[in-house]
Amino acid sequence: MVAAIEIRGLAKRYGALQALAGVDLEIPRGEFFGLLGPNGAGKTTLISILAGLARADSGSARVLGHDVVADYRAARRLLGVVPQELVFDPFFTVRETLAIQSGYYGLRANGAWIDEVMHHLDLTSKADANMRTLSGGMKRRVLIAQALVHRPPVIVLDEPTAGVDVELRQGLWEFVRRLNRDGHTVVLTTHYIEEAETLCDRIAMLKAGRIVALDATAELIRRFHALYLRVRLEGAVPDRLARRAVAAEAGRHTFRLDEYAEVETALAELRAAGARILEMELVQPDLEEVFVQIMRGAGPPDAERRAHH
Amino acid sequence: MQNAGRTTEVAAPPRTASAWTGFATLLYKELLRFWKVGFQTVAAPVLTSLLYLLIFGHVLEGRVQVYDRLSYTAFLVPGLVMMSMLQNAFANSSSSLIQSKVTGNLVFVLLTPLSHVEFFGAYVVAALVRGLAVGAGVLAVTLPFASVPVEHPFWAAGFALGGCAILGTMGLLAGIWAEKFDQLAAFQGFVIMPLTFLAGVFYSIHSLPPFWERVSRLNPFFYMIDGFRYGFFGVSDVDPLASLAIVGVFLAGLAAITLGLLKTGYRLRH
């Protein structure tokens, strides 16, 4: 089956900045995919090329098999993009905005679907309000509605929850999840890594224009065997264990262990040093931890190898 | 994949899409944009032209005789109509594009399957409509002040359309090139205003010294205004057919450049 998104050797330079340095990526249909990376890693550039807002220097990108340059009309019809910037046209109401957006895609009588999208995004009461009068969160919802007017099978959301309050964020994810359940492929970039962890089937991490990690979310976390032992102590920490400390303050210590077997050794060393344990906790790595490690370039060897193949 | 069974449901977007709807929608949006603020986009320029007519007509009436048996005020009317049409056609496409660029909402158009030809067509036709609306308004309010004959209405219409299309295209070019409002204002102040004012709106180039008469003939705007005036008086400085040919060639050249830039995405797609 043809992939929802297929990217081959994509490179893009802005002056001195190598925004993308050869990216290969394939996203199958129906997937909920996350694109993570620090600011300037190339996430938005990648999305812009996919959407036709930017031109690649080399390489190619396809949406459901349609090249985004050579066959741009078909590619754009299949793609819905929610841009990162909170942009709007101050001349129009919400309903006008959505009707006009439908028209650009060649859809004339799209009222029923527009009503449905507005309903799901809680915009119905604002349908006839001018865009200027809406709050930031409402404008964000209209942006999402605009990306959906032509029922695109592939949806790309670039930082959709930046600056959005918690309540709206929850509602929004519920809606995007439902779209994904209905068969839409969803590609998401976000700064909230815990969002990516709970939502995404698979994740790519970008750094300086390259993919440095790409795997199923659970797999990515599992490959980091690191385990954290957090204790509150009375007494001194023996030297050997102190070398494993990643944080220490006022009797609270965190040690990085490689496997569960080391827990026993660590406790034995503490006992031998005469330290008394007041509180203890074992912490599994989460995606945020994995992200930080990978961005520092400290990923496990297999992760590095896989990412560069 | 757990979703595989339902993928087909959304794989095919609606097939009712019509090729004309995209273009028609962008045109409609561009028309609505200026019509919603018609007081400033149509009524204001009409008032400005009326003031020109009253003031210049009052001051110069009887002192300047351009063509035989024609009052200066009557001579002024077609020039003012054309000047306001040209300026407003330019203003429409240029300000719409720069506003969309600066505020970022141009992305809504750039994301869609609309082609560069449809984009060009919609902006230029909207500019044309605004130009003609303002022109009709100026004509309506100035006619009571002078008796202006209409010898060849089709010639007048032809030059009105050609002129508005040229300025609509120039507005699009300026909007593509400019990245800030002040760059656009500079383009308007240093290119469009001099070219319109020196095109013979207020005088016949035959009244100029020979050198300046030759310089005026290098200004394409001169042929638009001269040809348009021929439509009213049946008299012109240049053969109207030659003027129409020059207007046509100029329009074709500008359109080719603009379409080329739109196709490559110059300053629009990065």
User: pLDDT for A216-270, tens place per residue?
Assistant: 988 888 777 678 888 998 888 888 888 888 877 878 888 888 888 888 888 988 8
Cβ-based neighbours of A133, under 8 Å, separated by 6 or more: none
CATH of domain A5-221: 3.40.50.300
Domain extent for B171: 20-264
Residues contacting residue A214 through CB under 8 Å, at least 6 positions apart = A25, A202, A203, A204, A205, A306, A307
The verdict on residue B130 lying in a domain is yes
With beta carbons under 8 A apart, name residues in chain B contacting A184. 10
In a domain, B11, yes or no: no
Q: Do A78 and B26 touch (CB under 8 A)?
A: no
Distance in Å, alpha carbon of B251 to nearest chain A alpha carbon: 27
Per-residue confidence (pLDDT) for residue B6, from 0 to 100? 39
B14 in a domain, yes or no? Answer: no
Is the pLDDT at A137 greater than 90? The verdict is: no
The domain tally of chain B equals 1
What is the predicted pLDDT for the residue at B84?
A: 96
Asked if residues A56 and A49 have their Cβ atoms less than 8 Å apart, the reply is yes
Task: Please tell me the predicted confidence (pLDDT) of residue A170.
Answer: 85
Least confident of A68-77, A148-157, B141-150, B251-260: B141-150
Q: Is B3 in contact with A183 (Cβ distance < 8 A)?
A: yes
Q: Taking CB atoms and an 8 Å cutoff, what residues of chain B touch A146?
A: 108
What phi and psi values does residue B81 have, to the nearest 5 degrees? -60, -50
- B35 within a domain of the structure (yes/no): yes
Which residues in B have their CB inside 8 Å of a CB on A? 1-4, 6-14, 16-19, 21-22, 24-26, 28-29, 32-33, 36-37, 100, 103-105, 107-115, 265, 269-270
Residue B5 lies in a domain: no
A255: part of which helix (H) or strand (E)? strand A252-257
Beta carbons within 8 Å of B180's beta carbon, 6+ residues apart: B98, B102
A-chain residues within 8 Å CB-CB of B123? none
In chain A, the largest separation of any two C-alpha atoms, in whole Å, equals 79
Whether B25 is in a domain gets the answer yes
pTM (two decimals):
0.87
Q: Is residue B269 part of a domain?
A: no
* pLDDT on residue A295: 82
Q: In what order do the strands lie in the sheet with A66-67?
A: A17-27, A5-14, A58-63, A66-67
Confidence check: pLDDT of A31 > 90: yes
Residues of chain B contacting residue A105, judged by C-beta atoms under 8 Å apart: 13, 17, 22, 112-113
The band of A80, judged by pLDDT with boundaries at 50, 70 and 90, is very high
What is the interface pTM, i.e. ipTM, of the complex? 0.87
Taking CB atoms and an 8 Å limit, are B6 and A31 in contact across chains?
Answer: no
Type of residue at B137: G
Q: Collect the ranges in chain B with pLDDT lower than 70.
A: 1-18
Q: Which pLDDT does position B17 carry in this prediction?
A: 57
Residues 122-151 of A with CB under 8 A from B: 146, 150-151
Q: Establish if A305 touches chain B: CB-CB under 8 angstroms.
A: no
Name the β-bridge partners of A277.
A233
Model confidence pLDDT, tens digit, residues A164-173: 778 778 888 8
Cβ(B123)–Cβ(B30) below 8 Å: yes
Residue B74 lies in a domain: yes
Residues of chain B in contact with residue A96, where contact means CB-CB under 8 angstroms, are 32
